[in-house]
């Protein structure tokens, strides 16, 4: 189960990133965080940009609604999804956590 913190029109959740992977993928979990794999190397913010793009596409929201609020240079990152229905995004995250 992915640990989430709902706020008004916002949801905070953690991800565990594998940068430099063979393919872009969202699914599974690691210590209460959603697993995210991106092909971009972790250099000059390229992987972080790829993470936001992949999560936005997967969750069906715009990139501007997602922000990395901590962990810019770490595998474990905290993400804020804003201007969304927290319950709906939480359900999507829980479903994604069972994949992989």
Nearest alpha carbon to residue 92 among 56, 51, 53: 56
Q: What is the CATH number of the domain that holds 77?
A: 3.30.1200.10
Summarised one tens digit per residue, pLDDT across range 21-75 is: 999 999 999 999 999 999 999 999 999 999 999 999 999 999 999 999 999 999 9
Q: What pTM does this model have?
A: 0.94
User: Are 21 and 86 a contacting pair, CB within 8 Å?
Assistant: no
Question: Quick check: 100 pLDDT over 80?
Answer: no
Domain that holds residue 46: 4-97
Domain count for the chain, please give it: 1
What is the model's pLDDT at position 96? 96
Q: Which of the four pLDDT bands, split at 50, 70 and 90, describes residue 94?
A: very high
Buried residues in 58-74 as b, exposed as e (16+ CB within 10 A): bbebeeebbebeebeee
């Amino acid at each position: 189960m992915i640990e989430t913190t709902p706020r008004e029109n916002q949801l905070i959740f953690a991800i565990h990133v594998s940068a430099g992977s063979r393919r872009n993928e969202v699914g599974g979990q690691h210590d209460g965080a959603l697993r995210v794999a991106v092909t971009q190397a972790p250099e000059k913010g390229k992987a972080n940009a790829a993470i936001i793009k992949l999560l936005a596409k997967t969750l069906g929201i715009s990139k501007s609604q997602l922000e990395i609020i901590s962990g810019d240079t770490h595998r474990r990152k905290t993400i804020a999804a804003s201007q969304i229905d927290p319950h709906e995004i939480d359900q999507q995250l829980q479903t994604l956590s069972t994949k992989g």
